[in-house]
Amino acid sequence: MTGSVSRRGALCIGMGAAAVVTLGRVTVAFASATDDAIAAFTGGADAKSGKIAVTAPEIAENGNTVPIEVAVDSAMDGDDMVEEVIILADGNPNPGVATFKFSPLSAEAAASTRVRLAQTQNIVAVAKMKDGTFYQDARSVKVTIGGCGG
């Protein structure tokens, strides 16, 4: 296999060349790692839908830098405050992307960054509110060329 490995293929070996062959099963494994990460973040509490929105391109040509934004509908005052937002990518070798922590000085619980996506997958964001509730949203991004750590 090494003889015909493309440059990008070589970059991806780090995450397991076999992933290409057993893509379906591996995706399931990644997805459960994402569920585990969500459970660790929420402490087992249910994450409701609504309030939080993930913005990401429908199709990303280059998986190395995909612009994403998370925004939570919150007054950022008193108990209506977003404490943290965790961002996960369920098709990456490690689902964790970033955790954003907001403060009373944050006027809006919104932030954007650029991420690496190894393959077509979902971006999942979970917001932790000050009152202990959790909100979740996901958006799928089609990746033309994966950004396997490269």
Partner 1 sequence: MAKIKPRVKVPKKADIGEIITIKTLISHPMESGQRKDKKTGETIPRNIVNSFTASFNGEPVFEAVVEPAVSANPYFEFQMRVPAAGEMAFKWIADDGEVYETSKKIKVG
Q: State the DSSP code for 78.
A: T
Gap between the terminal Cα atoms of the chain: 20
Of 90 and 137, which CB lies nearer to partner 1 in the complex structure? 90
Task: List binders of partner 1 among 9-68 (CB under 8 A).
Answer: 10-11, 13-15, 64-66
* Nearest distance in Å: CB 99, partner 1: 4
Question: Please, how many CA atoms are within 13 Å of residue 58, restricted to the half-sphere of its CB?
Answer: 0
Of the two residues 46 and 107, which places its CB atom closer to partner 1 in the complex?
107
Which of 19, 54, 97, 124 forms a contact with partner 1 (CB under 8 A)? 97
103 touches partner 1 (CB under 8 A)? yes
- 84/130 Cα distance (integer angstroms): 9
The residue whose two tokens read 């997805």 is 31
Residue 109 carries which side chain, given as an amino acid letter? A
Nearest to 63 by CA among 34, 36, 97: 97
The distance of closest approach from Cβ of residue 36 to partner 1 in the complex, given in angstroms and rounded to an integer, is 15
Using the rule CB under 8 A, give the single segment among 23-31, 39-47, 108-116, 130-138 that binds partner 1: 108-116
Taking the complex as a whole, the smallest distance from the CB of residue 24 to partner 1 amounts, in Å, to 21
CB of 150 to partner 1, least distance (A): 6
Cα(24)–Cα(28) distance, integer angstroms = 7
- Write phi, then psi, for 22 (nearest 5 degrees): -110, 50
Binding residues (CB under 8 A) for partner 1: these are: 10-11, 13-15, 64-66, 69, 89, 92-94, 96-103, 105-108, 110-117, 147-150
